[in-house]
Amino acid sequence: MYAIIKPMKKIFAISLLMILAFTIKAQVKYGLKAGVNFATATFKNYDLSISPSNLTTFHIAGFVDIPIDGMFSFQPGVTYLGKGYKYDLPNGDSKGEVDLSYIEIPMNGIAYFPTRSGRIFVGAGPYLGFGISGNIDEITSERDLKFGNGVNDDVNPMDIGLNFMLGYHLNGGLLFNAGYGLGLSNTIPKDKRTDDAKIHHKQFFLSLGYSF
């Protein structure tokens, strides 16, 4: 996994330089979108026998659409979104909940396909996420979660992954899209990892937005 994540950090640095170069020459569009997330996680070799399920949360995003050539655009942005999961408690009678908030920087490539009333679009690209707050809630207790990579921390603060999306952009500027976020980073703090234990975020999302 480290072999995947390390090159992705270089991609983000190169992408920032690309943004500056393209915005000088291109006629860019700006947009906002918001919607609902259905977040969960995958567990591997984790020491607790829990079954994660979807946590419903939300996202708000701003983005820049930079035309590259013909039907293609480069679309970086900044997103505030919720991640996490629900899980069954050991007694089987109820669920616990891990609720996390992140700031993400997506770097998506977009392909547009014109129609009579707008454009269908598909997109994909990497994202870099930074954890900013979180809590865990069970029946008898609730506490804030600490971001960091020490033995006393709860969540790795950095989340790197991939986005995939499909949507429709009306000629007037209104847009609809659905997507999927696949986390590649292990969210367990580095100093707490044992026996190759891993937790990865994943979420399905629906958005409504507008570009101008």
Q: What is the pLDDT of residues 19-46, one digit of tens each?
A: 555 554 557 899 999 999 999 999 887 7
Rounded to whole angstroms, the Cα distance separating 80 from 103 reads: 5
Tokens of 211: 């570009």
Q: Phi and psi at residue 93, in whole multiples of 5°?
A: -90, -15
User: Which domains does the chain possess?
Assistant: 2-211 (2.40.160.20)
Q: What is the pLDDT of residues 105-148, one digit of tens each?
A: 999 999 999 999 999 999 999 999 999 999 999 877 899 999 99
What distance in Å separates the CA atoms of residue 42 and residue 202, rounded to the nearest whole number? 8
Give Cα 58 to chain centroid, integer Å. 11
